[in-house]
Amino acid sequence: MKKQAKFFSVLAAVILAVAGPASAGKDPVRPELTQGPGFTKQENNLHQVDGPAPGQGAAPDYRLYRSGAPSRETFAKWCSEYQIERVIVMSGDAESLEFQYQSQGICPNLKVIYNVKQKVGVPVSDAFLQWFDDQVAAARRDRVGLLFRCKTGSHRTGRLAAYYQMKYEGLSLKEAIAVMNHLGMMMPLFDIPLKPQVRALDEFIQGQPCDQKQRACVAVHSNRYLP
């Protein structure tokens, strides 16, 4: 156990040495975007991305959330306190979580509309992004809560959140990356594959050719990750 702890300590030190100190060259962002606790195990790293504040007495409306894999207790809040009706699972494990909880009578009317295992190192496709845009439009039209998640709510979730916030909320590339890092765990390590992918997503949104290495580019004319 001590050897394992020492290994991870050394690994973290190497990563930080490569990435540089947190304050060095830090992306300038609006302070309000990175306020709060950042990555948290509380409610499985659930954060609201868009929409009015939720609550038991709040009117139905479009709300967008990001999260990690839910505990039984947090899942019960999804359909009550947070008024979530549709869920996108990018870790492909809804059978052991959402569906299992629903078999116990929790949030039986919540719909898992996507259950595909995506990979951090393999970018999304244009077809998946169009599918996601369609789900956002449908949730807005129907005034319902929509949530997307992976295991920790950090990496696959952070990638999709960056896309949404750049396209729909006007965040700059630097701001989207800063928010992704603020709400994610072990980001100096995962930034290596994710930052180029977020840059490629920004280029895709702007209608520009991908200027990143091919392994980071949005897969065009591809059905990758479609449900």
Query: 96 lies in which domain range?
Result: 40-216
Confidence of residue 10 (pLDDT cuts 50, 70, 90): very low
126-136 pLDDT, tens digit each:
999 999 999 99
DSSP string, 31-89: GGGG-S--S-TGGGT-EEEESS---TTPPP--EEEEE-SPPHHHHHHHTTTS-EEEEEE
* Residue-level pLDDT at 26: 54
Question: Is 81 within a domain?
Answer: yes
Question: Is 156 within a domain?
Answer: yes
Q: Which of 14-28, 32-46, 99-113 holds the top average pLDDT?
A: 99-113
42-60 pLDDT, tens digit each:
999 999 999 999 987 899 9
Question: Is 7 within a domain?
Answer: no
With beta carbons less than 8 A apart as the criterion, state whether 163 and 127 touch. Answer: no
Residue with structure tokens 């990435």?
19
Picking from 25, 24, 49, 23, the residue whose alpha carbon sits closest to that of residue 36 is 49
Question: Is 12 within a domain?
Answer: no
**How far is the C-alpha of 215 from the C-alpha of 21, rounded, in Å?**
27
* Residue-level pLDDT at 56: 79
Question: Is 224 within a domain?
Answer: no
For the chain, the domain total comes to 1
At residue 50, φ and ψ (nearest 5 deg) are -155, 160
CATH of the domain at 129: 3.90.190.10
* Residue-level pLDDT at 2: 41
Question: Is 54 within a domain?
Answer: yes
**How far is the C-alpha of 24 from the C-alpha of 129, rounded, in Å?**
33
Give 81's contacts (C-beta < 8 A, 6+ positions apart).
54, 55, 56
58-73 pLDDT, tens digit each:
999 999 999 999 999 9
Question: Is 105 within a domain?
Answer: yes
pLDDT(18) > 70: no
Question: Is 210 within a domain?
Answer: yes
Q: Which amino acid is at 165?
A: Q
143-162 pLDDT, tens digit each:
999 999 999 999 999 999 99
